[in-house]
């Protein structure tokens, strides 16, 4: 089950965190993986891990906020591989602040990566998916898309847009055999979390880590590999009857955190 052999897969944000975990799992399931990220060094590290494990991977530095750049990259991928079967939009950035502490510059920065970046990748991929007779798109949203989180105004805005774009694309292209879903994680333990704690709570990293972990009713943060497992199902042929859905993967955060 969940064999991705011969599936040409593009993953944005593949240099770290959830995107990297998805890339590792998809490569292990025999997908041909194109890794996109702005951080070239992180990309090469991910590629090295995949190739050393016997996977097929290419690393392409990409600014997802630049539509011309994204479109050009997809054109080259199709010229090389003939098709794009799966697109996973994992690239994203965070921002801390409520409305009045979010500058226009910060708002635009989050929008350009988290919203326009997802739009750009789908805009580039869908024409090829239509031409080849179908494809799968998976977007990384967040519990912030549907819940009010303190001091996450711009981030919540962006993830709400990701959820809405997912539903719109799923509806508009269902007749083209293109499935589109999204995943909404709660807190996931990545290097970003460690960096955030170090920068904002020096000397209290462990205390704050435990505090943040307990906000999930299950008592801990998620693991990138757990998110990747759900992504694998949703992008596999076994999920052929699933489209237009948002999947919370949150340790009970949405339904049980009362």
- Establish how many alpha carbons lie within 13 A of residue 47's alpha carbon, considering only the half-sphere containing its beta carbon: 16
Q: Cα angle vertex 164, ends 238, 192, to 5°?
A: 80
CA distance linking residue 24 with residue 29, whole number of Å: 9
Count of Cβ atoms closer than 10 Å to residue 74 Cβ: 24
Count of Cβ atoms closer than 10 Å to residue 90 Cβ: 29
Q: Cα angle vertex 116, ends 40, 225, to 5°?
A: 55
CB distance 220 to 155 below 8 Å: no
Residue 124: alpha-carbon gap to chain centroid: 16
Q: Which of 34, 119, 155, 173 is catalytic?
A: 155
Q: Is 119 a catalytic residue?
A: no
Which letter does DSSP use for residue 64 in this model? T
Contacts of 201 (CB under 8 A, 6+ apart): 207, 208
CA distance linking residue 36 with residue 62, whole number of Å: 6
Query: Annotated catalytic sites, by residue?
Result: 155
């Amino acid at each position: 089950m969940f064999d991705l052999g011969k599936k040409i897969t593009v993953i944005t944000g593949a240099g770290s965190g959830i995107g990297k975990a998805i890339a590792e799992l998809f490569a292990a399931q025999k997908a041909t993986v194109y890794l996109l990220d702005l951080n070239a060094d992180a990309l090469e590290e991910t590629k090295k891990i995949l190739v050393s494990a016997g996977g097929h991977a290419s690393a392409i530095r990409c600014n997802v906020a630049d539509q011309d750049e994204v479109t050009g990259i997809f054109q080259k991928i199709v010229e090389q591989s003939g098709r794009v079967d799966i697109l996973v939009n994992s690239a994203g950035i965070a921002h801390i602040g409520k409305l009045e502490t979010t500058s226009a510059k910060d708002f635009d920065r989050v929008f350009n990566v988290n919203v326009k970046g997802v739009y750009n990748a789908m805009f580039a991929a869908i024409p090829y998916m239509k031409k080849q007779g179908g494809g799968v798109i998976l977007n990384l949203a967040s519990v912030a898309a549907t819940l009010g989180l303190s001091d996450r105004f711009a981030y919540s805005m962006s993830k709400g847009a990701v959820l809405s774009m997912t539903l719109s694309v799923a509806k508009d292209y269902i007749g083209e055999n293109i499935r589109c879903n999204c995943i909404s994680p709660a807190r996931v333990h990545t290097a970003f979390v460690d960096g955030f704690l170090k920068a904002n709570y020096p000397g209290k990293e462990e205390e704050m880590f435990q505090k943040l972990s307990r906000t999930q009713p299950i008592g801990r943060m998620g693991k990138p590999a757990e998110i990747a497992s759900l992504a694998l199902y949703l992008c596999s042929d076994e999920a052929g009857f699933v489209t237009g859905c948002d999947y919370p993967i949150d340790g009970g955060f949405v339904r049980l955190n009362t």
